[in-house]
Structure 1
Amino acid sequence: MAELINNPIYMQKARAELDTIVGNHRLVDENDIPNLPYLKAIVMETLRLHPPTPLIPRESDKDCMVDGFNIPAKTRLFINVWAIGRESKYWPDPLKFMPERFLVNEDNDNVIIDVRGQHFHLIPFGSGRRGCPGITAALQVVYSALASLIQCFEWKVAGDGEKIDMTEASGLTLRRATPLLCIPVSRHISLLPLS
């Protein structure tokens, strides 16, 4: 949400996609998600820049060489997922929030990149046998929640600032250093349940 509030053009594109696919006569539901590629691209781009866990601990099970470095068996390693998502070798303009990098263009130039651990330059949930077992459920919840927030509300920054501070706090999980404070303004009153 913070990235979308800071980049309103992407919020508008996501809202336009929702209005086209779902409309304003009903709430978005899980069955709509496969038909919302721009919403999915926003989530992928967010996971690239802000992975849930910045470091993934692993232990090598045998001696191996990685990029010219000898790694003996039983060595404890930390995979820096945060840095991988910002590697300019794989991501042009890596610090910029650009959901379009996860869309297939007309020329079919873009490879569809997924966060399920098959593309090693985007592994916010790990990879292989030690990858997160809840990835499917997590993505479904994130897609549905984000779609509902975009469909039902306009978002305003609380306080004086126009932009949200994206500074990250250190820790085992990646979180914002300052809380996200914003004001929701209802878009579709007819969609909200009566109390």
Structure 2
Amino acid sequence: MHIFANKGPENTQTTLKLALEKANELQTSLVIATNTGQSVQGLLDLMKEMQIERPVIAVSHVYGMREPGKNELTDEMRAYLENQGVVIVTAAHALSGAERAFSNRFKGQGPIEIMAHTLRMFSQGVKVAVEISTMALDAGRIPYGKPVVAIGGSGSGQDSAVVLTPSYTHCILDTKIHEILCKPYTG
């Protein structure tokens, strides 16, 4: 496992390379978190440079995450990525979703948010990797029961990559994390 000294976008290129090499070795899909599409573009560039072709599923924030009625992934970027063969999933966060409305309103934490906090003990990106893989599986964009390489980060850029076999949201505790390829040091 590769450990970065710090979290953040400066780790994106190394994270993408480690994830792509592992996905190629396993002959599996890459699931990547995206807000603006920039990291997905970087992954596509790296795939071209390394002459590796793997399915890419990009999971974006829901509409209204930052601003009501808006999505951070512009229509232009969405169209560009789809034209490059990227499958885009836009769905409610598997590890917060509707539960967050209750914790915000009534204070306290529900079991799903406790699970999210537990995964953050490894890193925010590891939590994101589990979450986006579940969302992609729920959307039918990756096959059930097969490992994927998932890439997540902390706000912008990517700093964590995980090999896992996700499970559907309704049975998320059946998810299997096989290997953490990289993550930032958490102190």
Q: Same fold (TM over 0.5)?
A: no
Question: What TM-score do you get using the length of structure 2 for normalisation?
Answer: 0.22
Question: What TM-score do you get using the length of structure 1 for normalisation?
Answer: 0.22
The structure whose residues are more often helix, as a share, is 2
Q: Which has the larger radius of gyration?
A: 1
The structure whose residues are more often strand, as a share, is 2
